[in-house]
Chains A and B, each alone.
Chain A
Amino acid sequence: MLGSHAYADVACDGLLTGRVFSEREQQPLTFVRIDVSPVSTTSTASEASVGSDHDGRFVVESLCAGTYQVRMRSPGYREWRASQVVPQVAPLNVALTREHPPADVVARPETSSEGRDATAAGAADVIEVIRVESSPIDSRSAQPRSVETLEGEDLQVGRGKDLARLVEQVNGVRSVGAGGIAKPVIRGQVGNRIAILQNGVRHLGQSWGLDHAPEIDPFAADRVTVIQGAAGVAYGPEAVGGVIILDAQPPPSAPGVRGELNLMGATNNGQVAGSTAVRVRLPGWAHRWSMQTQVSYSRSANQVAPRYDIDNTGTETMGISAGAAYHSPSTAIDVSFNRYDATLGIFTGVQSENYDRFLEAIERNEPFRQENYEFSYDIDRPFQTVFHDTIRTSVAQQLTQTSTLSFTYAYQKDKRREWDNVPAYRQRFPQVAFDLDGHQAIVKYQSLVGQTIELSLGGEAEYQDSRYLGTTPLLADYTSFRGGGFGLVRWIQSHYELELGARLDVQSTETSKFAAVNPRSAPRINESYRFVSPTLTAGVIVPASSHWMIRGQLASASRMPSVNELTIRGASPGRGIFETGDPDLGVETTYEASLLVSGTYAVAGINVAVFGNIIDDYIHLPASRDENDQQVFLTTIVGKFPSFSYEAVDASFVGTNVELWWLPWPWLHWRGRASLIRGENLSDDAGLTLVPPDQFENRITIRPFKDRNRLQFFFEHIFTRRQDNADIRQDIAPAPDEYHLFNAGASAEFYAFARPLAISLNVTNIGNEIYRDYLSRLRYYSDEPGIDMSLRLEIPLSKDF
C-alpha cells in the first residue's frame, strides 16, 4: 500500500490521542504501553512508544500524516492492535480485555473475526480499522451512567435471538412480549421511552404497541451497547429510559476480504438461522474504498411449552445490509442500506374477542383448543408482516487536529401489516396497516479544547409521515417535524471528570383521524400539537482509587407524548381491553438521580447501580373508573370490553442492579446478579403495571484447561420473584407465581480448515419447568416455552489481496 502523495507536503506534527479502559469495569488503565509504527505514511516516519497516564490517557506527538499500526499492551490484558489514521478523526478510546478470568468476560475471543484471523495466521499486519463513531458520544468512553457493551462471545451466544432477548444478557434489562415478538425493557421503561440507534441513526418504527417488536435484524450488528437511565442529551427525547446502540462491523483496514458465517439451530422451536457477512477493502489505488454486505435468514416453528405447543408462534425473518465507505486521512464518507423483513406469528390461544372470553381463558389455565395444536413451521392468521428499510449516509471531516464535523442523513421506511383471524370472506387483506416514512438529518461538531475539555455540539432535524388504514379508526395519521439542538461538555481533571449536557427539542405534530369506523365515508378530525422538550444532565466520574470508580448523574429529561397515546381508540389485540387516547396529554418529565460504584480487585469485583426517578405527568394506561370507582365497560358488537384510558400521573421508579464476581481459582468464575425495581403511581398511591419483577442470577463458569481451545462450561440459575407490587385493579389477572430456571452451556474454539471456529451449545430451562412470566403477554393464556437446546457456529472468512 503506497502513501497518498497528495499529502506529501504535510508537516509531521500530527497527534494521536486517546484513552484506555478495562473493558469490563470501564476503569481507566494506567501504564499501558502504546506502540505506534507506520504502515503507510507520507514520509519517513519513526516508531513511537508512550505509556498511558493515571487517567488512561495518552498522547503520541510528531506523527506524519498516514496510517499507523497501534499496539497496546498491559500485564494481565490481552494485546490490542488496530490501524489508525493520522490526523485522527476522533480520539482513540480502547477497552482492553483481561488475559485470564473473569472467565465469562475473558473467554470472549478478540472482538472481531479479524482479530481471530490475526491469531490464526500469526500475521502482525492484519489490522483493524478504527470505527468512526456516528453516535454523538463514543459509546466506549467512560460515561457517568451505566453502559454495557455486548460483542464477541456475548453476541455469538445470542445469535439468532431477536433484539429484545439478545440484550436481556445485560443486568437490569428485560423484555416484554409473547412468542416470537418481544421488546426491550430497561429499568422498567419500554417502547417510546427507549431509543434504539442503528449505525448512529435513531430507529423509527411502530414502537408504541406492546406487540410491536423493534424492526431490526441483530445479525447486522457486531456490537450492541446498552445505556441504562436518562441519556436524552445525546440521543434525543426518546432516551428517557435508556438507549440501545447497534453498530455494524467496520471494514478491514488492509486490502483484502474479511467476513464470517454464523449458523445456529435450536430444538424448542426448530429454529434455523444463518448469517453471512463479507467486507472488502480494495487494493492498490482504490485502497481508500471499502464495501460490505451482509445477509441473514431465520425461520422458526412455534415454541413448545412443557405440556403443549404454543400454537402459531413461528417466525420468518430476513435481513440484508450493504454499504460502501471512503476513508481519507481527514475525511470519512459512507453510505449504507439495511432491510429487515419479517413475518411473525401470533399465538392463536389469545382468546379475547371480548372480556367474558378473556376471563374464561384466564380461568382455564391452559389455552383453548390446545389439544389441537401441532408443531408447525406454518404461520397462520393472526400474524404480522413487518418491513423496514434504512438508508444512511454520513460525512465526517477533520477540521483541525482536535476537531471534527460530521453530517448524517437517514431515510427510513417502515411498513406493518396485521392479519387477524377473520372470516374467510375478509381474509384477502390485512385488517390493520401502518406506513411510516422518516427523514433525519444530524450535524455534529466535536472538539478537544486544550487537553482537558471535550466539547460536542449537535443539531438534529426529523420529519415523520405516518399513515394508518384499518377496519376501525384505531390510530390517527400524522406528520410531525422535530428540531433539536444539544451541547455536551466534559471537563477531564486528574481526580474527577465532569459532564454537563443540555438539549432542547421542539416538535410540531399534525394528526388526522376518521371520526367514525368506516375510513372511506366518515369525516376527518384534524388536530395540531406543539411540544417542547428540554433535557439537562450533570454527571461526574470519580476514580476513587485504582480499584474503585464512582459515577453519578443528575438528570431532568422530558419526552413528548406519542401519537398513539394521544389518539388511539380501539380494542387492543390479545388483551381483551379497549384503549382510548387522551389528546390533552403533555410532555412528561423525568428527574433522575443515579449512582454507580464499581470495585475491581485481582480476583473479585462488584458493580452496584442505584437509581431513582420521579416522573411528572408519566403517561400510562390504567383501567377507566367512573365516579363511583367502578370499572367502566364498553359495549361493542363482539361483546363488552373493560375500558383503559391513557392518563398522566406522577410516578416514581426506584431500583438497583448489583453484580458481584469472584475468581477463587483461575479455572472457576462465579457471578451473582440481582435486579430490583419498584414503580409507584404517586397520584393514586398504587403500584404501576408492567414493572419487571425482582430477579436473581447465579452463574458459575469453569475453564478446565488453560488456553486449550478456550473450552468452558457454565451453569446458571435464575430466580424470578412474583410481582406483588402491581396494582391488580389496573390489570386483569393476578401476577404469576415465582419461578426458578436452570440453564447451562459449553463453548469452545477449535481449528478446522485452517480457521478458528467458535462453537457454543446452550441449554435453557433444563428442568422443563412449567412457569408463566409476569412480563410475557402469553401469561394470561399459556405457559412459557420448555427446554431448549441451541447450537451456534461461527466461521471466519478472510483473504488478503
Chain B
Amino acid sequence: MNQRIRVFNHIHPVWLLMLGISMGAVRCGDDDLQDTIPGEEPEVINRIILTFTSGEDETSPIEVTWEDKDGDGGDEPEVDPITLQANTTYSLSVKIGNTLADPDIDITEEIEEEAEDHLLIFSLIDEELITIAYDDKESDYVPDQEGEDYDVGLRNVVTTGEAGETTLEVLLLHLPGIKTGVGDTDRDNGEVDISVEFPLTVEAS
C-alpha cells in the first residue's frame, strides 16, 4: 500500500504537467466557429422577381415573384402566376434576392459584377406561346475580359403570340471561366444557382 501512495505522490505533478502541455497544443489549433462563416455573407437565394413592362403601358408593369420564405424544405414556396396579353412586346427584367437575411440582400448586383460567369436561360415547358430574346451583354455590367461579349439575361425582350397556357422555366447558371454563350453547352456545364418554374397564361387581347 505504501508503495502505491509513494508512486502517486511522485507522479501527480509530472502527470499534470504533461497533460497541461498537451492541452496547450490543442488550444493552438483553435479558432472560433462564429468567425468561420460571417453572418453578413449573402449566402442564400430565396426570391426571384420578374418584371414585364409593355411598351404600350409603361406605368403599370406586371411583377411576379417566386419566394421560399422559410428557405429550403418546410413550407412550399409561393409562386405568382404570370399573365400576359397576346401579340404584345414586353421588356423583362430579373431581380434576385435573399429575404432571409435582415435586411434583405439584393443578389442581382453580385450577378452583374460576375456577369461573365453567369447566364440566365428561359425556356417554355409545353407550348411555345412566347419568345424571349436576350437584351443585355456582359459589357453592360462589367468590362469584357473573358471570351466574347456573351448574353447575360437580366434584361430581355418578350414577344407573345397566341393565347394559351404554359410553364416558364428560369435557370440561373454559374459558369466560372467556362461560359461559352451556347445555351445547350452552358446548360450542361453550369452549376445551377436557380431553377424555378412559373405558370404562364397568355390572354387574348
What is the interface of chain A, defined by CB distance below 8 A to chain B?
A: 6-7, 324, 326, 328, 330-331, 333, 335-337, 339, 353-354, 356-357, 360, 368-369, 372, 387, 389, 391, 393, 395, 397, 411, 413, 415, 417, 421-426, 428-431, 433, 435, 467, 469-473, 515-522, 569-571, 578, 580, 634-639
Query: Is B182 an interface residue when CB atoms closer than 8 A count as contact?
Result: no
Query: Is B151 an interface residue when CB atoms closer than 8 A count as contact?
Result: no
**Cβ-neighbour of A368 out of B36, B39, B189 (below 8 A):** B189
Q: Which residue of A lies closest to B118 (CB)?
A: A423
Known: A328-B7, A521-B102. A424 touches B73 (CB 8 A): no
Contact A634 B72 (CB under 8 A): yes
Contact B36 A580 (CB under 8 A): no
Residues of B within 8 A of A634 (CB): 72-73, 76
25 A-B pairs with CB atoms under 8 Å apart are: A7-B3, A326-B15, A331-B11, A333-B11, A335-B15, A337-B22, A368-B189, A393-B19, A395-B15, A411-B26, A413-B29, A415-B31, A423-B117, A424-B114, A426-B41, A429-B36, A467-B33, A516-B100, A520-B102, A521-B101, A570-B73, A571-B72, A635-B76, A638-B193, A638-B195
Contact A517 B174 (CB under 8 A): no
Known: A389-B26, A425-B113. A517 touches B72 (CB 8 A): yes
Contact A369 B189 (CB under 8 A): yes
B1-48 residues at the A interface, CB under 8 angstroms: 3-4, 6-8, 11, 14-15, 18-19, 22-23, 25-26, 29-31, 33-34, 36-39, 41-46, 48
Residues of B within 8 A of A570 (CB): 72-73
Contact A326 B72 (CB under 8 A): no
Contact B192 A469 (CB under 8 A): no
Cα of A389 to Cα of B27 in the assembled complex, Å: 10
Contact A569 B18 (CB under 8 A): no
Residues of B within 8 A of A636 (CB): 68, 72-73, 77
Contact B19 A517 (CB under 8 A): no
**Cβ-neighbour of A435 out of B33, B41, B114, B176 (below 8 A):** B33
Contact B68 A391 (CB under 8 A): no
Residues of A within 8 A of B72 (CB): 472, 517, 569-571, 578, 634, 636-637
Residue among A331, A397, A580 facing the most chain B CB atoms (10 A cut-off): A331
Q: Which residue of B lies closest to A328 (CB)?
A: B7
Known: A569-B73, A634-B72. A425 touches B194 (CB 8 A): no
**Cβ-neighbour of A389 out of B7, B29, B38 (below 8 A):** B29
Contact B46 A637 (CB under 8 A): yes
Query: Is B71 an interface residue when CB atoms closer than 8 A count as contact?
Result: yes
Residues of A within 8 A of B196 (CB): 637, 639
Q: Which residue of B lies closest to A641 (CB)?
A: B72
Residues of A within 8 A of B26 (CB): 337, 389, 391, 411, 413
**A495 to chain B: closest CB distance in Å?**
39
- B166-205 contact mask (Cβ, 8 Å, vs A): 1 or 0: 0000000010101000000000110111111000000000
Cα of A194 to Cα of B135 in the assembled complex, Å: 58
Query: Is B148 an interface residue when CB atoms closer than 8 A count as contact?
Result: no
Residue among B70, B72, B114, B193 facing the most chain A CB atoms (10 A cut-off): B72
Q: Which residue of B lies closest to A517 (CB)?
A: B71
Name 12 extra pairs, CB < 8 A, besides A387-B29, A637-B72. Answer: A326-B14, A331-B8, A337-B26, A391-B19, A391-B22, A391-B26, A413-B29, A423-B117, A423-B176, A516-B74, A518-B71, A638-B193
Residues of B within 8 A of A517 (CB): 44, 46, 70-72, 100
Residues of B within 8 A of A397 (CB): 4
Known: A517-B44, A637-B194. A324 touches B102 (CB 8 A): no
**A644 to chain B: closest CB distance in Å?**
11
Cα of A792 to Cα of B3 in the assembled complex, Å: 48
Q: Which residue of A lies closest to B100 (CB)?
A: A518
Cα of A413 to Cα of B31 in the assembled complex, Å: 11
Cα of A433 to Cα of B15 in the assembled complex, Å: 34
**Cβ-neighbour of A335 out of B22, B74, B117 (below 8 A):** B22
**B77 to chain A: closest CB distance in Å?**
6
**B169 to chain A: closest CB distance in Å?**
10
Contact B39 A472 (CB under 8 A): no
Q: Which residue of B lies closest to A65 (CB)?
A: B3
**B32 to chain A: closest CB distance in Å?**
9
Query: Is B110 an interface residue when CB atoms closer than 8 A count as contact?
Result: yes
**Cβ-neighbour of A339 out of B29, B68, B102, B178 (below 8 A):** B29
Known: A7-B3, A328-B7, A333-B15. A368 touches B188 (CB 8 A): yes
**Cβ-neighbour of B45 out of A473, A519, A569, A637 (below 8 A):** A637
Cα of A205 to Cα of B68 in the assembled complex, Å: 33
Contact B101 A433 (CB under 8 A): no
Residues of B within 8 A of A471 (CB): 37, 41, 43-44
**B100 to chain A: closest CB distance in Å?**
4
Contact B43 A431 (CB under 8 A): yes
**B129 to chain A: closest CB distance in Å?**
22
Cα of A771 to Cα of B41 in the assembled complex, Å: 42
Residues of A within 8 A of B29 (CB): 339, 387, 389, 413
B77-126 residues at the A interface, CB under 8 angstroms: 77, 100-102, 110, 113-114, 117-118
Contact B117 A354 (CB under 8 A): no
Q: Which residue of B lies closest to A381 (CB)?
A: B176
**Cβ-neighbour of B192 out of A336, A353, A635 (below 8 A):** A353
Contact B195 A353 (CB under 8 A): yes
Contact B192 A639 (CB under 8 A): yes
Contact B174 A423 (CB under 8 A): yes
Contact A6 B6 (CB under 8 A): yes
- B115-146 contact mask (Cβ, 8 Å, vs A): 1 or 0: 00110000000000000000000000000000
Q: Which residue of A lies closest to B77 (CB)?
A: A635
**Cβ-neighbour of A516 out of B34, B70, B114 (below 8 A):** B70
Residue among A330, A520, A578, A636 facing the most chain B CB atoms (10 A cut-off): A636
Cα of A337 to Cα of B22 in the assembled complex, Å: 6
Residues of A within 8 A of B23 (CB): 391, 411
**A415 to chain B: closest CB distance in Å?**
8
Q: Which residue of B lies closest to A331 (CB)?
A: B7
Cα of A204 to Cα of B194 in the assembled complex, Å: 37
Residues of A within 8 A of B33 (CB): 433, 435, 467, 469
Cα of A519 to Cα of B18 in the assembled complex, Å: 40
Known: A330-B4, A417-B36, A638-B192. A518 touches B18 (CB 8 A): no
Residues of B within 8 A of A395 (CB): 15
Cα of A164 to Cα of B41 in the assembled complex, Å: 36
**B189 to chain A: closest CB distance in Å?**
6
Q: Which residue of B lies closest to A364 (CB)?
A: B188
Residues of A within 8 A of B76 (CB): 634-635
Cα of A472 to Cα of B114 in the assembled complex, Å: 24
Cα of A7 to Cα of B8 in the assembled complex, Å: 15
Cα of A790 to Cα of B59 in the assembled complex, Å: 72
Residues of B within 8 A of A521 (CB): 100-102
Cα of A408 to Cα of B149 in the assembled complex, Å: 66
Cα of A298 to Cα of B80 in the assembled complex, Å: 53
Residues of A within 8 A of B73 (CB): 569-570, 578, 580, 634, 636
Residues of B within 8 A of A424 (CB): 114, 117, 176
Cα of A330 to Cα of B188 in the assembled complex, Å: 69
Q: Which residue of B lies closest to A579 (CB)?
A: B73
Cα of A520 to Cα of B15 in the assembled complex, Å: 43
Cα of A519 to Cα of B33 in the assembled complex, Å: 13
Cα of A333 to Cα of B19 in the assembled complex, Å: 11
**B74 to chain A: closest CB distance in Å?**
7
Q: Which residue of B lies closest to A424 (CB)?
A: B114
Residues of A within 8 A of B74 (CB): 516, 569
**A279 to chain B: closest CB distance in Å?**
16
Residues of A within 8 A of B38 (CB): 429
**Cβ-neighbour of B193 out of A423, A431, A519, A571 (below 8 A):** A423
Residues of B within 8 A of A335 (CB): 15, 18-19, 22
**B89 to chain A: closest CB distance in Å?**
29
